[in-house]
A and B are shown apart, each in its own frame.
Chain A
Amino acid sequence: MTQSVYEQSSFRSNFFVVWDELVKNMKFLMAYPIIFIFWAIFPIFWFIPFILQGEAFVGGLQSANFAQITGSGEYIPFIVIGAVLNSYVNTLLYGMGENIRREAYQGTLDYVFAAPCNKAYVLIGKALSESVSSTIFAASQLTISALLFGMNLTLGVMLPVFFIVILLILGLYGLSLVLAAFSLMYKQSHDVSETIGYIFYIFSPVRYPIESLPFWAQIIGKLIPLTYALIIVRSIMLLGTSFSAMYWEILALIIIDAVLMLAGFYMFNWMETKTKKSGAISHY
């Protein structure tokens, strides 16, 4: 006979909530192999125009002006790193809000919220599944790009990069929680996600160095976790800077993560209580 949730230890039952949510979302993903293949390969096509643009404007693979600003004249790895890290923004930011919305579409949101568990663990499970799928897609894109454009990827470089990616994911979790909260109350969080996506795309150094932006835009950019993640990862991968030399940027990223996570959990709990009280949870 299986134990009831109440009889199991709190840690064990919470672990199962997270695990089952992760497994459920991965099953959804694997049920549509074409979508899986699409996200693993196609985002590469989105940055190829920038590489061709570089070739047309500079007439080679190195730009002297680019080297003056970024320290490295090679614009292809700069673009590839920007695109791969930005793919986390695309999947995590849109994914979490849409994940909650999908439960509503499928008619399972009421059951999820009525389940005898802390909803934060359900969200952690959802966030973990988004992170796992994002990392699989990012790894695939990076590997293909490395093969196509001859980038050097060693374990010594990739380990600190992986740590920074985790920090980036934590910051994006915080933002995703805010979006999930919006999704609960206002249902269509898509526009908010898109708008935040635009801000990230313009003010973060995804396609160009942050120094090329006006001063006021640089200040906005420095409030975004992706900016620090990109600066650190590019410094490690392209300039060979040691991890310890980037402690200011790492500290800034950790502070932004903490603020976003706290804001995210607070907003979600607040909206959850509000929607439960108003009965808006089962509305479309």
Chain B
Amino acid sequence: MEKNNKDYRLREVKCPAGFSWTNLRAELRAVWESNVKAWKIDLAYPVSFIRQLISPVVFMLPYLLYGLVLIGGRYSENLAQLVGTGDVVAFIFTGYIMMGFIGTAVWAMGFSMRREQWFGTLEAIYVTPASRLGQVLGMALHSTVHQGAGTIIQFIFIYATFGLALNVGGILPALGIFALMMFALYGFGIVISALSLILKEGWIVSDSFYSIMTILSPVAYPLIVLPTLAQQASIIFPTAPALIGMRSFLIENYVPEVVGNVFLHLSVLGAVWILFGVFVFHLTDRYVRKRGMLKKF
């Protein structure tokens, strides 16, 4: 077909380039479409979808029941001495809601590129005129909403079964802390997704990071019970400061284990992790294309 032919021109796709409003809109559209695609795949397997929705309850119950059996009730004297509040149900619930979101960063975002490779669509995505990060961010959006729905179910279950005494006035600032934490976790997720492009058995890296982050996050225990070195290491991940900050707003009489400005800490972590994540992703992206590694399993 001739280039000056009318039909030929109709098939041309104008690709916005550079940092402009049009380009940003196009990239956001790509993120949205990637999110829609993830939802369609998710809803195509209803059993798996429902199972994943109830999994936050399933995995939190052992922490709760074990805690209740240990102390023979829901009030722990020792916990009250450590953090000012002894209500183990409120303490574990506010901690455990984070766990699923760690999974969002490590598993959903980290494996977004690898999943495309399994489906055989990674190369097709790579040649589309959009940022490859859009794929990862679309998955992040889908996974955050999915996990959010699971957390609401978790809240209803805990409220109906055990009852929850949370400070309602603290919900808004706690959500602010949560949003800042998610930014930092997104940066962390981008790093993992970059690693999964190089390391083909990347699930080991994801699982290892997940396990380490779980231990370093004060989900079911205060940070003070960790060895000093582990307490210091926990400040580089967003979950520990976010949990401490959220608990100070949500739980009455809670005494933060670490004193400091949580908002500032999380803002810095968010900026550092996102910049680091984009940098690593950019380097990895160039590396795998140069080496022709996209096709390799």
Contacts and interface: CB of A to CB of B under 8 A. Distances in A.
Interface string A64-90: 111011000001000000000000000
Interface string A166-191: 00000000000000000000001011
A69 B70 CA distance: 10
B58 interface: yes
Interface string B224-262: 011000000000000000000000000000000000000
Nearest to A55: B225
**3 closest Cβ pairs, A-B complex:** A65-B72, A59-B78, A56-B221
Given A209-B69, A213-B65, A56 B78 contact: yes
Interface residues of A, dominant DSSP = helix
B280 interface: no
A212 B69 contact: yes
B282 to A, nearest CB: 26
Given A42-B207, A53-B220, A57-B78, A212 B70 contact: no
A48 interface: yes
Interface residues of B, number: 38
A77 to B, nearest CB: 14
Contacts of A57: 67, 70-71, 76, 78-79, 88, 221
Interface string A40-55: 0010011011101111
Contacts of B220: 49-50, 52-53, 56
Contacts of A266: none
28 contacts: A32-B201, A35-B204, A42-B211, A45-B211, A46-B214, A49-B214, A49-B215, A53-B63, A54-B70, A56-B79, A56-B82, A56-B221, A56-B225, A57-B78, A59-B81, A63-B70, A65-B72, A66-B69, A69-B69, A188-B45, A195-B47, A198-B55, A201-B62, A202-B58, A207-B63, A208-B65, A208-B66, A209-B69
B221 A58 contact: no
B139 interface: no
Contacts of A46: 211, 214
A35 B201 contact: yes
Nearest to A195: B51
Given A56-B78, A195-B51, 7 more contacts: A42-B207, A45-B211, A46-B214, A53-B63, A53-B220, A58-B76, A65-B71
B122 interface: no
B212 interface: yes
B201 A34 contact: yes
B188 to A, nearest CB: 18
* Secondary structure call for the B interface: helix
A52 B71 contact: no
A213 B61 CA distance: 11
A69 B55 CA distance: 28
A204 to B, nearest CB: 10
A11 interface: no
A28 interface: no
Contacts of B78: 56-59
A194 interface: yes
A100 B62 CA distance: 31
